[in-house]
Structure 1
Amino acid sequence: MLTLCAILFPRGRREGAVILYHGSRHGINGPIAPISRDRCDFGRGFYLGTNPLQPLTLICDFPDARFYTVELELDGLDVRELSPDTTWALVVAYHRGKMESARGTELYAATAAVLAGADVAIGPIANDRMFVVLDRFFNGEITDAALVKSLSALQLGNQVVALTQKACDAIRIVEERCLGEEERAELIATSEMNRAEGVALAERICREHRRDGRFFDEILEAGVPLE
């Protein structure tokens, strides 16, 4: 596993650059580019995390996976940061194609504009622990208040997404390494345990706040930007 020293003080760090982490199922080949699939949380980009465990648990099922420590120099980039709130949830919904029924409304336009033209997006991670809760929100089973409370309680960390080639060119790989079989097994067990604990915590929070806030379809039907 990564040592604490390796995480906090990677070799050759540039002054002013932020240290982030990326996991790849088969390794990075060629220049870094914003070429993820379209339906990711913040759209197509190159996805990084602030917590090394997050990308590690995403790639631990793949024997050829590679884990990267990188630097991102933010100077000169248009950086947009999202808080763990309903606006974040709507931005994720927009990029996942869940807001088409609101197309043509002020809400749709305002949500589309949140990251329009940005080089870098920073916001909460919607990993497998949060994915279940997000789907329940999109399906009208829980309110935005329950979703946001769950997101805050889970403390999953942030994802940092290079949305443009300009941002990708500001990334430098500090370290690349493969995962051993024993490490992958430990990470798989950790991932499964965290997921079960996270889903249980979110379920409790959703029950506590089931009468607070608004449902997704109510927000879309109103069609007006959030205050």
Structure 2
Amino acid sequence: MLTVYHGATEEICSPICAFGRPRLDFGKGFYVTDLKEQAVRWAQTLADKRGSQPFLNIYHLNREAFLAECRYKIFTSYDAEWLEFIVANRQGKNLAAAYDYIEGGIANDRVIDTINLYIQGLIDSQTALQQLAFYKPNNQICLLNQELTDKYLCFYESERI
């Protein structure tokens, strides 16, 4: 079992994949991470924007069983394939719809400027990848299949931050 976290402004005992926003890095799904600090930062950012209390939702994910039953994509670095996938999803092309589980780096504040320059055509993919090479990818997991999420993601507890 892998312990994963979801930063939010409420306790989420029963995640719903369809509530995700479109045009995110890995499409519309329920996002978790195995990096606690990353989820805490996100919860605090959301709470500040909404004027509410941050929550850290903690789950146990049977990753191996999930992957054994699903269509998945795992990105291990900020590479050309990751860049094109992120850009396509952010532009509404929804490449993520072909998968039940996607894992890889986040296009967050550390790297978004590079991605935006690439989207705007101000730099080419080679230059973008050279700039991204300076950053160690963090990690996000997007669960897109509700049936498999219900089966393999178990709520453990929620903490007020």
TM-score w.r.t. structure 2 length? 0.81
Question: Which position in structure 2 is the counterpart of 1:127?
Answer: 108
Deviation at 1:152, TM superposition (A): 3.5
Q: Equivalent residue for 1:32? A: 15
Q: 1:79 to 1:90 in 2, by over 3 A?
A: same
1:73 aligns with 2:62: yes
Q: Is the 8 A contact 1:98 1:138 kept in 2?
A: no
Partner of 2:32: 48
**SS in structure 2 at match of 1:32:** coil
Q: Deviations over 1:123-147 (max 9, x none)?
A: 1111122122211111122222232
The reply on whether 1:96 has 2:96 as its aligned counterpart is no
Q: Which runs of 4+ in 1 moved over 4 A?
A: none
Alpha-carbon offset, residue 51 of structure 1? 1.6
Unmatched segments (≥5 aa) in structure 1: 1-16, 100-110, 180-227
Q: Which amino acid counterpart does residue 173 of structure 1 have in structure 2?
A: F
Letter of the 1:176 counterpart: S
- Larger % of strand: which? 2
Segments of structure 2 that go 5 or more residues without pairing to the other structure are none
Percent identity over paired residues: 23
8 A Cα contact 2:25 2:107, kept in partner: yes
Q: C-alpha distance in 1, partners of 2:148/2:137?
A: 24
Distance in 1 (CA, whole Å) between partners of 2:15 and 2:86 is 23
The structure whose RCO (Cα within 8 Å, separation 6+) is larger is: 2
- 3-state DSSP class of the match of 1:154? coil
For these two proteins, the number of residue pairs brought into alignment is 149
* Larger of the two Rg values belongs to structure: 1
| Residue aligning to 1:159 | 140
